[in-house]
Structure 1
């Protein structure tokens, strides 16, 4: 089956990540899993190939979100390039001999000018950086949330918070920016703190059942567990309005924040 250029580049990206993971370089593999996309672009240089054909040299360009740029150190890029350029060669990119990392261009909402002016008046924050630039994102109590389902969970947690005694209260932190040891800055859906402990709630849509995304989620959960923090994943299909959701969240809070 014929693949277009984007599919071919994505194949190279996926094969590189899996090979790095098999070689035990999970840090580099996870960074590739978090990358937005891979492209092959002309460097402007060329050489005379056999038969006198002018061949332009290509570079593999890895596009990543701005918060990941610092994680792609020269040393990490070298480890990735060693594998990626070989995979590209074996997939037919014969004139590719270098790799770069660039910041992906942001998605611009129609009211971006208004959003920037409002942000200029805000205090610096790590909360919901990407979501606050998106149009029509849910907001509760001055806090941005990633989806209506996350808003539903936040409201249920807020109800629990309002009914708990002062010595068993909780703090609710939706979409905080968090850096973990693997060198990534991630944004968990909601962190709840109480009794000197913390638990992460992730609201998983259908795309989380994709095999690659499932593996990525398990790796992220492992990073949290190494910090002594458990992750509770809530499939959106299982979210129920009202008492059923509240009772589920109460059970998880007792299990992880006030274990017997």
Structure 2
């Protein structure tokens, strides 16, 4: 407790402006919060996938494992349809050779516990080999369906709302509680208001949440109009969503490292993140 600042003893803990959340505590709490929300959505997707006959799934990387088996092209009636190249306009199509692929491989993939999909890999051999993979959702019965609602679109909106609520109600979710952190008011003692924690997380996850909701709404709209199996716009949307996530992740790391005791999103929203240090009563 060598850090300067006014501290106050409250319920057996020292809470004060001099005890900042630190760098590693905040980083670990950040990833624990993401993992918890991803795991919950994965379990919901695993339960909803068979109940809705594939209409709802979750393509999160938070899975146990993925197992793919080759599909016998001669014994399947769907392979001719699956082997059709998707239209141009996607993120990688500008690099596609202007000739038919040399090899086409169709595989069925079981991504446990969340969903099933068919993976079609087109390969062009040559001096510089080029490969393109298209993944299409499957019903539990094995039939290809035009589109499903992917719960991955809700990851950032759910993360934003959950963190805002948990920080206002309990000072933080499981990640912050495990790392001994609390989100408090600007004075470092009182509980933060929900309006402040909502603004805090909107600054962190707002752009990614809006992009995810827009991509999900676009997919539902195209499905209602009988859109094709492959939509180049969604390919670009997922790349943009990933880029936004990477950008904000790096911004988070740099800001927490150089802006002490609180980075800009905490100061702008009027909150502070402080450590809890246990004091033994003697």
User: TM-score surpassing 0.5?
Assistant: no
- Flag the structure with more relative contact order, 1 or 2, with Cα contacts below 8 A and sequence separation at least 6: 2
Q: TM-score if structure 2 supplies the norm length?
A: 0.25
Q: TM-score if structure 1 supplies the norm length?
A: 0.26
Greater Rg over alpha carbons, structure: 2
